[in-house]
A and B are shown apart, each in its own frame.
Chain A
Amino acid sequence: MQRELMNRAKELLIDETVVRVLGWKKGDLGYNHEPAYFDSPEELEENFVYDAFCGANLSKYMIEAGKQEGKTLVFLKPCDTYSFNQLLKEHRIKRENTYIIGVGCRGNLDIDKIKAAGIKGIESVDADGDMLKVKTVYGEKEMPFEEALLERCLACKGKTHMVYDELIGAGEKEEAGPKGNRFDRVSELESLSPEERFAFWRSELSKCIRCNACRNACPACSCLKCVFDSNQFDSNQKANADTFEEQMFHIIRAFHVAGRCTDCGECSRVCPQGIPLHLLNRKFIKDINTLYGEYQAGEDTDSLAPLTNYTFEDAEPGIVAERGRK
């Protein structure tokens, strides 16, 4: 598919439909591909890559790309299109400056899972089959593709693109339902005692180094100036000085993206400390679904988000305590 994508991108550059291409550039370790702009067919030929290590969601880059002259071609995986739609809805990007090629996806790989399986000193990874074939300085290793999937791919939203100009390697309405129930882990945590939940989150969140990777990678966190970088709420903090701040940061961040988060999983993917941040967002999604009706952010560009909407019969906040009693 990589070749097909590259050729189509070249065509679109040559016929001047677009002036630049936003895609992924081959990394030097076989798995560390980076988001990149390509201005010429030559650059594409040299560096363009598309494989299971192209996890980065390119939607957010379109905020900056959209400000430039001319159209940008962007490759979006099915789940990236939700983020793109959400950004469109919030007027953060311009559709008319974008040419979207929806690309097929068989799931993205988590290099940390590969390393956690004891595969070290990686020289190259062959991810074409059901088994990963990894060349390392310690010899050749193998592991099943499935077992190295990113957390977000384990609860895949499906393979259908929500927005695109054309599709390559993907069908119009592809079904590839979630492999697991994405709320299982949330339910599990909910069923713990408050003490256990507190202990779990304390141990997870205490790892936070406030590097802001989660925020900066998050397509929903598109504020020009985050409240944690400004003093609008006396909230400007650069680093953790107290455990409270880790909680504060993550609660408010999750709250600010509640109803807007598409569950793209970038936060957990990029966290250098492996904090399962998606479990915070999914908690909000689960609550919203059960209390206010199923809602998938990014599915459309015109519905009212749950927090800018209401019904007369909404649940009372006391429901939290009632649920707790059960």
Chain B
Amino acid sequence: MEVNQVQRIGVFVCHCGTNIAATVDIKRVLEAAAKEPGVVHAEDYQYMCSEAGQQKVREAIKEKQLTGVVVCSCSPRMHENTFRGAAQKAGLNPYMVEIANIREHVSWIHKNIEEGTEKAIILTRAAIAKVMLNAPLQAGQSKVVKRALVIGGGIAGIQTALDIADAGYEVDIVEKTPSIGGRMSQLDKTFPTLDCSACILTPKMVDAAAHEKITIYTYSEVEKVSGFVGDFQVDIRKKARSVDMSKCTGCGVCQEKCPSKKIPNEFNRELDNRAAIYTPFAQAIPNVPVIDRENCIKFKTGKCGVCSKVCLAGAVDYEQQDEIVSQNYGAIVVATGFDTIKLDKYEEYSYQSCPDVITSLELERIMNAAGPTKGHLERLSDGKAPKSMVFIQCVGSRCADERGKSYCSKICCMYTAKHAMLIRDKYPDVDVTVFYIDVRTPGKNFDEFYRRAVEEYGVHYIKGQVGKVAEHNGRLLVQGADLIDNRRILMETDMVVLATAIEPNPDVRKIATMLTASIDTNNFLTESHAKLRPVESPTAGIFLSGVCQGPKDIPETVAQAGAAAIKVVGLLAKDYLVTNPCVAKSDELYCNGCSACEKVCPYGAISYEDREVNDHGIREVRRVASVNSALCQGCGACTVACPSGAMDLQGFSNRQILAEVDAICR
């Protein structure tokens, strides 16, 4: 423990050229400071932050054996670190420095020199009063586990994992479904270049699976997270696949022979059916089926067992149990992606009642060669080829009521142009009409792409939201208005495609709670700073990749995935983390164990334990709070929640703030 010694304070007043000196009488500030008890040194200089100015501070610390330094200068937000560094170089603990802000808060706003000087003196006194109570603080260290966890195995998760792994760190991907690939694996082509989605995604999936630093847990979910930046402890539940991954050859016979084949196929947006034992799609990684136990006859009735009989590898294992994998990670990336919103509240578009009204994602599957119609564009009601198609934009996006989402889903304008173009290309006899509110195409080659749809492919764009879609003589009647021509539109068409709003994967709420990461009212994860820290969650060690943070297209997602990866790599490259020492600290002798602090901590940094304390000779086991200084960010919410004053904030302690109050009110 530091021996309590009499403080020896040095005060350094900066002129900041004439920035301060013009409206503050520096000499009087110096004189007033010198008279304060504890002040043993006071000097001024033209530019305290200059090398020469810092030199003065360093020299005075050494010569006068200063125990504390007050610099009267510009805002601490500007140069606090500069002077802390100077103090450290001179052997003084950097947290023994306080700044009196006499520029932004004094000289720049008060034109009257009398007034300015008086206020500068008071602020200086307050800083002296505070520094008298400062205690040397040591930045702590915490170990960094050199392994990252990526939650979600879509393109965002895969790209992040690949980038981290390429930098040489171990990465685990946890994917809820039986295969990685995510939404992108469901897409047919991608804008604005019209590459085949599978063609560009599959190699990445293969890379990830083959990478020696990457471990993929599919059909798995994160169950529990504890710990903090640098060392999270995570439990992953590997759901029972009922198929032995090490034995299965991926031949697919089991799926063919399975008698239970009437299960809606999630991968094809439930437009066709799959078997109870299935791999979601042909390029699935791993290419090992899972048994959907809810729909499997064997699991439901105990009879059947066909898959086991036909499996030559003997891989089917009905006895398999869920398995919990516990692993430590230095960083966690959330890449949980999105889904489309439910359309049950949009009766006017007849989505529920007409099979020929589909969502864009359903169209992707219809257009895809592996989809429910083997890639043939046809009406789901009667299998006929359409002659006319209508696309409706902004279904559920930009919506002020509870039916939809307030935000723009961002990707719809572009994929609709893509769809229209592909249809016109492959089926030139199909008329394509797009009803839009605005066409939003910010992005490289995006507007050109949209214009091509109009100019080269003859897609009709009509400004005006559609009012109603109804079945009519076996076709669909679309009622709208052309806002530019100011004319009613009543057209019959064969298919209607709804550009349905996207929303974060509903699981994100649960995950955010586990990670103590914050989410906004739309369930998107909040970034630490909208502009400057867009891939970091406010919770240290948690990073964001892809649509879980906000609507994004593929190029943006991949870019953000790379950004998240580099932030993770930057973290994992360190052996230890230096922690901010201005954190909360609980005095066990005053702690009541009431948990009020724990409840207001946004970082889960406070935990309780039963500990024997020695309260002036009374030894007893008490439930007391302790703060994990690696997690604590130093907001101080706990200090006020604590009624007994057991919880205090280092660097902004109760006594320090009270001393400032006293000095100001003197």
Contacts and interface: CB of A to CB of B under 8 A. Distances in A.
A90 interface: yes
A224 B595 contact: no
Contacts of B490: none
Interface centre among A67, A91, A226, A304 (most CB of B within 10 A): A91
Given A222-B592, A224-B590, A225-B589, A230 B641 contact: no
Interface in A213-227: 222-227
Contacts of B593: 90-92
A138 interface: no
Most buried by B among A90, A308, A309: A308
Contact of A90 (B595, B615, B645, B655): B595
Interface in B529-555: none
Nearest to B659: A234
A312 B592 CA distance: 30
A91 B594 contact: yes
A225 B644 contact: yes
B531 to A, nearest CB: 22
A90 B654 contact: no
Contacts of B620: 67
A230 B644 contact: yes
Contacts of B622: 224
B623 interface: yes
Given A91-B594, A308-B599, A223 B644 contact: yes
Nearest to A63: B592
Contacts of B592: 90, 92, 222-224
Nearest to A312: B521
Question: Which of B592, B594, B623 has the largest count of A CB atoms less than 10 A from its CB?
Answer: B594
B32 interface: no
B589 A308 contact: no
A226 B591 CA distance: 10
B310 to A, nearest CB: 52
B34 interface: no
A92 B623 CA distance: 9
B599 A225 contact: no
Contacts of B599: 304-305, 308-309
B428 interface: no
Contacts of A91: 593-595, 608, 623
Given A232-B654, A234-B658, A256 B590 contact: no
A137 interface: no
Interface string A87-105: 0001110000000000000
A324 B599 CA distance: 32
A305 B596 contact: yes
Interface string B628-648: 000000000000010111101
Given A91-B593, A91-B623, A224-B592, A232 B644 contact: yes
B658 A224 contact: no
A67 B608 CA distance: 18
Interface in B128-167: none
B245 interface: no
A225 B588 CA distance: 11
Query: Most B CB atoms within 10 A — which of A227, A257, A309?
Result: A227
A233 B645 contact: yes
Contacts of B587: 232
A67 B618 CA distance: 13
Contact of B645 (A230, A305, A309, A312): A230
A211 interface: no
B644 A224 contact: yes
A1 interface: no
Interface residues of B, number: 26
B600 interface: yes
Nearest to A234: B658
B589 A227 contact: no
A35 B620 CA distance: 25
Nearest to B662: A234
A260 B240 CA distance: 46
A248 interface: no
A91 B644 CA distance: 15
A257 B592 CA distance: 14
Given A67-B620, A232-B590, A234-B658, A227 B643 contact: yes
Interface string A273-299: 000000000000000000000000000
B203 to A, nearest CB: 44
Contact of A230 (B590, B594, B595, B623): B590
Nearest to B654: A233
A227 B595 contact: no
B648 A232 contact: yes
Most buried by B among A230, A232, A233, A256: A232
Contact of A308 (B521, B600, B608, B648): B600
A223 B641 contact: no
A307 interface: yes
Nearest to A232: B645
Contact of A226 (B595, B644, B654): B644
B585 to A, nearest CB: 12
Nearest to B615: A224
Contact of B644 (A227, A305, A308, A309): A227
Contacts of A305: 596, 599
Nearest to B599: A308
Contacts of A226: 644
Nearest to B598: A308
Interface in B295-324: none
Contacts of A256: 643
A92 B643 CA distance: 14
A225 B658 contact: no
Interface in B592-620: 592-596, 599-600, 608, 615, 620
Nearest to B648: A232
Contact of A223 (B595, B600, B643, B658): B643
Given A256-B643, A308-B641, A234 B655 contact: yes
A283 to B, nearest CB: 18
Contacts of B643: 223, 227, 256-257
Nearest to A220: B643
Interface in A299-326: 304-305, 307-309, 312
Contacts of B654: 232-233
A305 B655 CA distance: 27
A235 B658 CA distance: 11
Interface in B480-537: 521
A308 B645 contact: no
B589 A233 contact: no
Contacts of A307: 596, 641
Contacts of B641: 307-308
B603 to A, nearest CB: 15
A307 B587 CA distance: 22
23 contacts: A67-B620, A90-B592, A90-B596, A222-B592, A222-B594, A223-B590, A223-B644, A224-B590, A224-B592, A224-B644, A225-B589, A227-B643, A227-B645, A230-B644, A232-B644, A232-B646, A233-B655, A256-B643, A257-B643, A305-B596, A305-B599, A307-B596, A312-B521
- Ranked 3 nearest A-B pairs via Cβ: A232-B645, A90-B594, A308-B599
Given A224-B589, A225-B590, 4 more contacts: A90-B592, A91-B608, A223-B590, A226-B644
Interface of A: 67, 90-92, 222-227, 230, 232-235, 256-257, 304-305, 307-309, 312
